[in-house]
Amino acid sequence: MSTIETQTFLMDAVRGTLARAFCGEGVHVDSSGAFDGIDWNLAGQKPCGSPHSIFQVLNHIVYWQDKCLRVMLGEDVHWPTCAVEGWPGAEAPDSEGDWRAMVERYKSELEDVATRLEDAELLAEQGKFTRLEVLRQTSSHNSYHLGQVALLRRMLGAWPPPCGGHTW
């Protein structure tokens, strides 16, 4: 295998790995279905001892996915100067429509990331990170917080999601 063929093979493997990481394949809960079946009132509740509601975690995930997409589009991205800036929005949705709109935004961004991943020059630098670094950080970030959502759903008696609760 030539050097170019090897590089192409490796980048294709990286793209596939990242795509699977974003969709939750394998040992993770299906990323696109993690928020399905949650009543909008329940999404705003914080179980005893929890610092965040499911709605707050969803807003946080969407905030960072949006940053990832902007990097993938080659835009200049303003990175927050402190952690609290990455937790926008209210504790609870104002309505079922508010909840559904945020879930749909999350799912739409997941699809956008997957689409951009196919054609992106992953080693291109976008500010202080390469696109690959941003994608890896975002997929790990999503996985971490989707685990929190699974735990919050269990604590609130809303587990499993319609897509199932067993990951393998």
pLDDT at 26: 67
All residue ranges of the chain with pLDDT < 50 are 168
pLDDT tens-digit readout, 102-133: 999 999 998 888 888 777 788 877 777 888 88
Taking residue 17's Cβ as centre, other Cβ atoms within 10 Å add up to 13
Enter the DSSP assignment of 76.
-
The residues facing 130 across adjacent strands are 125
126 backbone dihedrals φ, ψ, rounded to 5°: -125, 90
pLDDT tens-digit readout, 24-39: 776 667 788 899 999 9
